[in-house]
Amino acid sequence: MSDSSQNENLISCRDYKIDYKIEGGEKMVDVKEIKTIELVPFTLMTSSIAAIIGLIYAIILLITFGALSAFIPGAALIFASLGISMIILYPIGAFLIYTTLSFITALIYNMLVPRLGGIKLGLEGEQVTSLPVVSFALILAGVGAIWAFIMGLLLTAVILPLTTIISTIIPLASQLAVATINNVTSILSMSNATGNLTVNATNLTAANLPNGSAVGTAGVVIALMLIIGLPIAVFVLGFIGSALSAIFYNFIIPRVGGVRLILAPAGTAHEITSIPVVAASLAIASVALIFGIIIGIIQFISIAAAGNAVMGIEILIYDVLRYFIGTFIMVAIITIIYNFLATRIGGVQLGLE
């Protein structure tokens, strides 16, 4: 065989190895790590999706109010005003809220990746065939814990001053109450008919009333729970939930097919130009189905143990259908909106390595 022929075979084999180990053999998984999430495209896309979903929800409510006004004519103007206001407020409110949430979430993710590692995707061509469990669960739990810490700080900033004010007011109110009672009893003591009352009432002092220390202590305990306990709990629960999601995904995907991501180069990043609707909806809904089965079985056992097996079966069937159908519809709506917006404002851009 000539050198040029050998070189051509080596080149073709090298290119072919991206998808297959050997010709006609098992597909080779190409593991990519999401090192960064481009802040502006991610924020713009997620907030725009939220705004459209908010608009859809407002339209549904407007139609509902219109139907109700047919049965309650006197409230037609009120229903119309509420519906029109929601058409305006829901999309704008959702856009603004998710702009903040999405930007901070992506920023937290990018900050944690050098320390915890990013989400890893096992790709076979366009299809996400596997999610390495530890990396997936660790980064998502870390992002959730940071958010819990932020929320804990915000809640503490409200609760701690409030409990401090209350703990200060209580002893002042107690002293005022004692002084008021003593003044009243002093007046009543001028009458011999109220002598017994005077003896009993004047024994009351501020020491017998609440001093507010319990409220102040409770405020400190709550603050510690919010700042320390809440992030730890969110991290642990988030890790378990994310790990189970990845395990279920890896288990079910060979049977139903995985999420497909159509990627295109965008400078140093990769842009998700579209997400096939059915593949994404079926894959994620199948993962939700497993959660629905587990939760349904737990509820069935508890209800059946109480002596109502028929209701337990009904709830099991309801959970299974609710998790699968509800998730399928929601993911389908989101991916349809995403594909519609991606051609107009650009898709999410990821730094993959």
Whether residue 16 is contained in a domain is answered as no
Looking at residue 161, its pLDDT comes to 86
Give the C-alpha separation, 19 to 22, whole Å. Answer: 9
* Amino acid code (one letter) for 351: G
Q: Give domain status of residue 229, yes or no.
A: yes
Q: Which of 39, 107, 43, 118 is nearest to 353 (CA)?
A: 118
Residues paired with residue 130 on neighbouring β-strands, in sequence order: 122
> What is the rounded CA–CA span in Å between residue 118 and residue 108?
11
* Residue 249 maps to a domain: no
Let me know whether 152 and 93 are in one domain. no
Vertex 55: Cα angle to 273 and 90 (nearest 5): 120
**High-pLDDT (> 70) share of the chain, %:** 80
- What is the CA angle 26-31-33, rounded to 5? 170
Determine what percent of the chain is predicted with pLDDT higher than 90.
52
Structure confidence at residue 337 (pLDDT): 96
Query: Could you say which of 122, 153, 179 is where a domain stops?
Result: 122
Asked whether residue 117 falls in the same domain as residue 137, the answer is no
- What per-residue confidence (pLDDT) applies to 309? 84
Give tens-digit pLDDT for 8-37: 443 333 333 333 343 344 557 788 999 999
9 or 306: which leads in pLDDT: 306
**What integer is the mean pLDDT of 171-183?**
69
Let me know whether 112 and 191 are in one domain: no
Please check whether residues 113 and 154 belong to one and the same domain: no
- Of the listed ranges 29-43, 118-132, 196-210, the least confidently predicted one is 196-210
What's the pTM?
0.79
- For residue 29, being part of any structural domain is answered with no
Distance CA 47, CA 71 (A): 36
251 domain-assigned? no
Q: Are residues 234 and 141 both part of a single domain?
A: yes
Domain boundary among 65, 92, 122: 122
Q: For residues 200 and 88, what is the distance between their CA atoms, to the nearest angstrom?
A: 65
Q: Cα(262)–Cα(258) distance, rounded to whole angstroms? A: 13
Confidence class for position 353, pLDDT limits 50, 70, 90? confident
Q: Do 224 and 147 belong to one domain? A: yes
Residue 319 has pLDDT above 80, yes or no: yes
Q: Summarize pLDDT for 122-147 with one digit per residue, the tens.
A: 999 889 999 999 999 999 999 999 99
Q: What's the number of domains the chain is made of? A: 3
Residue 196 has pLDDT above 60, yes or no: no
Are 119 and 34 in contact by the 8 Å Cβ rule? The answer is: yes
Domain-located, residue 22: no
Q: Residue 339: is its pLDDT beyond 60?
A: yes
Q: How many residues does the chain have?
A: 353
State whether 299 and 237 are in the same domain.
Answer: no
Query: Residue 12 falls within a domain, yes or no?
Result: no
Alpha-carbon dihedral angle through residues 275, 276, 282, 283, given to the nearest 10 degrees? -50
User: Is residue 87 domain-shared with residue 151, that is, in the same domain?
Assistant: no
Choose the final residue of a domain: 207, 241, 275. 241
Whole-number Cα distances in Å, 103 to 112, 242, 290: 14, 21, 31
Higher-pLDDT residue of 163 and 26 is: 163
Contact at 8 Å (CB) between 294 and 244? no
Q: Name the DSSP letter for residue 228.
A: I
Give yes or no: residues 140 and 229 share one domain: yes
Mean pLDDT of 113-125: 92
pLDDT at 190 over 70: no
Q: Nearest CA to 342 among 267, 269, 285, 264?
A: 264
Torsion of CA 253, 259, 264, 269, to 10 degrees: -90
Distance between the two ends of the chain, CA-based, in angstroms? 37
Return mean pLDDT, the chain. 83
Looking at the structure, tell me whether residues 71 and 142 fall in a common domain. no
> In this structure, what token pair is assigned to residue 18?
């991206």
- The domain containing residue 310 runs over which residues? 261-353
Residue 199 — very low, low, confident or very high, per pLDDT cuts 50/70/90? very low
Statement: residue 7 has pLDDT above 50:
no
Looking at the structure, tell me whether residues 233 and 276 fall in a common domain. Answer: no
pLDDT in tens, 245-298: 999 999 999 889 899 999 999 888 999 999 999 999 999 999 999 999 999 899
Answer yes or no: do 152 and 101 share one domain. Answer: no
Q: Are 145 and 105 in contact (CB under 8 A)?
A: no
Give residue 25's pLDDT: 45
Determine, yes or no, domain membership for 47: yes
Alpha helices in the chain (DSSP H): 3-16, 39-71, 76-116, 133-188, 195-201, 213-224, 230-256, 277-305, 309-345
Kindly report which listed range (5-19, 49-63, 213-227) carries the lowest average pLDDT score.
5-19
Q: Which of 152-161, 171-180, 194-203, 251-260 has the lowest mean pLDDT?
A: 194-203
Q: Please state, in angstroms and rounded to a whole number, the distance separating the CA atoms of residues 200 and 197.
A: 5
